[in-house]
């Protein structure tokens, strides 16, 4: 595998790249991650089974889409490829550490606010279905935000749970309640990161860097809501964000609705206490 990776990387770089160092990196439950080096240039590489190639291609598409606003700092895409048994995604390597700096957090808030304000998309969705974690995320275009979120986010997750024999009530009723909660809310579509928890952003010598997106055009509040779901973001981040893009007064009433999507996804992926969390949110909406 590594010989094939070195050969393909040499073709992309247009010089002979020989891997002299390979370090397994912590983090990432889906793919194996490594730092590779030829003694001069280092790269970050994700490796998975060959069948995973379409998923790496979707990740490339997501990173490319987010770069268009020219406001966020994201990894540079070097190559997506495969060999006999494996698929891999190669990105530039940048040393990272947790986003624990007040200054960097404020800066990221500014960047995200500018990004959410960018674009002239009039519908909600994305050009392709993608993944949030390992769960398929349908993204068919809709003009109505309440319809899109209630059906393609909450309804879809409830369907997946039903297939596992788990229900939180009548799915059609829950979808209808979510729709009613959002029916009077008419946000302008923003290109979301889609999986914005603290594990998908780091601080670097260049500044805050985002990765592992699950993008689609939706309500910018969805990204903000998820930052509050699992914590890990300093108050400076929110101060920076709201200095350019103040949150609507109704945000607090929608936050749990938006986070129900990610709680349901964690139910599908992990089960456990997330089942109780999901049920509590559903009950509070009734």
Query: Alpha helices, DSSP H only, in the chain?
Result: 2-13, 53-67, 102-116, 145-148, 156-163, 171-182, 221-229, 235-244, 251-269, 274-285
Nearest to 43 by CA among 84, 9, 81, 4: 9
The CA–CA distances, whole Å, from 105 to 76, 118, 202, 208, 272 equal 21, 20, 10, 8, 32
* Strand 32-37 to 21-25 pairing: antiparallel
**Phi then psi for 58, rounded to 5 degrees?**
-65, -35
- 8-17 long-range contacts, CB within 8 A, separation 24+: 8/79, 8/81, 9/43, 9/78, 9/79, 9/90, 12/78, 12/79, 13/41, 17/41
The rounded distance, in Å, linking the Cα atoms of 101 and 122 is: 36
Q: Which residues contact 134 (CB under 8 A, 6 or more apart)?
A: 30, 269
**Phi then psi for 226, rounded to 5 degrees?**
-70, -30
The residues annotated with a catalytic role in the active site are 195
The rounded distance, in Å, linking the Cα atoms of 164 and 268 is: 8
């Amino acid at each position: 595998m590594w010989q094939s990776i070195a050969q393909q990387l040499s073709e992309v770089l247009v010089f002979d790249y020989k891997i002299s160092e390979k370090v397994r990196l912590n983090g990432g439950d889906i793919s194996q991650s490594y730092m590779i080096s030829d003694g001069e240039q280092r790269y970050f590489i994700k490796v998975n089974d060959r069948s995973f190639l379409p998923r790496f291609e979707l990740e490339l598409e997501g990173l490319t889409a987010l770069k268009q606003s020219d406001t966020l700092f994201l990894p540079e895409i070097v190559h997506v490829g495969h060999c006999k048994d494996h698929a891999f995604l190669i990105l530039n390597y940048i040393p990272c550490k947790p986003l624990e700096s007040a200054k960097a957090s404020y800066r990221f808030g500014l960047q995200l606010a500018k990004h959410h304000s960018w674009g002239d998309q009039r519908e909600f969705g994305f050009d392709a279905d993608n993944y949030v974690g390992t769960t398929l995320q349908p993204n068919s275009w809709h003009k109505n935000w309440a319809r899109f979120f209630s059906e393609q986010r909450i309804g879809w997750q409830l369907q997946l749970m039903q297939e596992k024999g788990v229900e939180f009530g009548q799915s059609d009723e829950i979808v209808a309640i979510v729709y009613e909660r959002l029916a009077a809310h008419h946000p302008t579509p923003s290109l979301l990161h889609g999986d914005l928890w603290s594990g998908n952003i780091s601080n670097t010598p260049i500044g805050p860097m985002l990765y592992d997106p699950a993008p689609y055009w939706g309500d910018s509040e969805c990204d903000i809501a998820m930052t509050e779901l699992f914590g890990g973001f300093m108050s400076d981040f929110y101060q920076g964000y709201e200095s350019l893009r103040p949150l609507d007064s109704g945000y607090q009433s929608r936050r749990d609705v938006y986070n129900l999507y990610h709680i349901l996804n964690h139910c599908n992926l992990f089960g456990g206490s997330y089942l109780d969390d999901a049920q509590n949110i559903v009950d509070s909406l009734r």
